[in-house]
Chain A
Amino acid sequence: TEAEQLTPVLLDGLREENLQFISKLKDSSGSCAVDVSSVWWGAAGYRELCVVTACESSVSLWKPQAPDHWEKVYTWQLGEIPVIQIIPVPDTCNLVCIALGNLEIGEIRLLLYSSENDSFKQSLVKSGNIKAVLGLRDGKLISSSRAMQEQQVEIVSLSETGRCKDRQTLMPPEETVLAFAEVEGVRDALVGTTAVNSVVVWNLKTGQLLKKMHIGYSYPASICHRAYSDSGLLFVVLSHPHAKESELCGNPAFRVIAFNPKTARSTGVMFSSLPPGHTGRYLEGEVKDAWAAAVLTSGAIAVWDLLLGCCTALLPPGSDSRWTLVRWSAAGAGLLAGRADGSVCVYRYA
């Protein structure tokens, strides 16, 4: 039954479910979702956490309606370029940022509501051969792009009216930057992972490229999801879509590596693999605080506690539809899980 398909399986050693099904939203158009996210939306001092779903040609905003019901309040229609992803931007309200393109990102657009003329609208933030983009604190957006042989790493400050208030460039490394993560604990530090498996560190304020540190060849194409500084070390949470299976740690979906930024030496701290008896490689995922979630090739979703170093929840694939997307909510312990049939389920993780 559908209820069974939406219920996490109990893992050995866990006495109760820590992923609770809350509600489900389904687009009547039957479009296949390419991404899902949450966004703060409101007016006159009141705001609520809404869900945003994207399919290739449109992006929809869903508001919560009691009890456990979602209402689609607006759909932005996009042009001929397909939507690839929704880019969450912290510290913003009434603003949805999306990336459009074919094999790689060609445009970044803002979708918003304009109270000036009481209408929903969209505006272009950036176009080009964009390799990576991330929403930063204080309504900023960082991206890496290539023009000819030159790489540009640029920060754009967004206004709630959809304007780009300010643009700042950071010193680019030689290799293409494929992912970014802000460093918790050091306000102006930012890290990136590159196409040749290095972690680079910037000073956001000055734009300086501070350090380049190699991750190693065992885990190619590593992507950084989170970084934090503690006790003089830089801890980076990485995913490894192309990691080789080993007897020691199986197929690790995420790894935590500690770098000494002064010497560029590193050591593995923790890896997150599936519990025995479950198979599947990492397809895509997201990290929030100490929680990591991933969609696996088996069509299941797994959740790990990075502090405990173990898998804490598993959503099995349904018999008729697989899980395809997993995102953490912008607030609280919400988990958004998307299925191949276009439906999105909201869970609470505790």
Chain B
Amino acid sequence: CSDSDLGPISLDWFEELSSEAPP
């Protein structure tokens, strides 16, 4: 699967989503 199919990939997705989501 390429980046273009799935959009920009982040290795730190869990930390980033945790900082963005409501507490």
Contacts and interface: CB of A to CB of B under 8 A. Distances in A.
A261 B14 CA distance: 8
A240 B17 CA distance: 28
A260 B2 CA distance: 11
Given A258-B1, A267-B1, A206 B9 contact: no
Nearest to A269: B1
A302 to B, nearest CB: 27
Contacts of A260: 6-9, 13
Given A258-B1, A267-B1, A210 B9 contact: no
Contacts of B14: 186, 188-189, 203, 210, 229, 261
A19 interface: no
Contact of A232 (B11, B18, B21, B23): B11
Given A233-B6, A265-B5, A267-B1, A208 B11 contact: no
A260 B7 CA distance: 7
A209 interface: yes
A261 B7 contact: no
A201 interface: yes
A265 B9 CA distance: 10
Contact of A234 (B5, B13, B21): B13
A232 B5 contact: no
A263 B6 contact: yes
Given A258-B6, A267-B5, A206 B13 contact: no
A262 B6 CA distance: 9
Nearest to B13: A261
A117 interface: no
Nearest to A233: B9
B22 to A, nearest CB: 7
Interface of A: 171, 186, 188-189, 201, 203, 206, 208-211, 229, 231-234, 258-263, 265-267, 269
27 contacts: A188-B14, A203-B17, A208-B22, A208-B23, A209-B21, A210-B17, A210-B21, A211-B17, A211-B21, A229-B13, A231-B11, A232-B9, A232-B11, A232-B13, A233-B9, A234-B13, A258-B6, A260-B7, A260-B9, A260-B13, A262-B8, A263-B6, A263-B7, A265-B5, A267-B1, A267-B5, A269-B1
Interface of B: 1, 5-11, 13-14, 16-18, 21-23
Given A232-B10, A258-B6, A269-B1, 20 more contacts: A171-B22, A186-B14, A189-B14, A203-B18, A203-B21, A206-B18, A208-B21, A210-B14, A229-B14, A233-B1, A233-B6, A260-B6, A260-B7, A262-B13, A262-B16, A262-B17, A263-B6, A263-B7, A263-B8, A265-B7
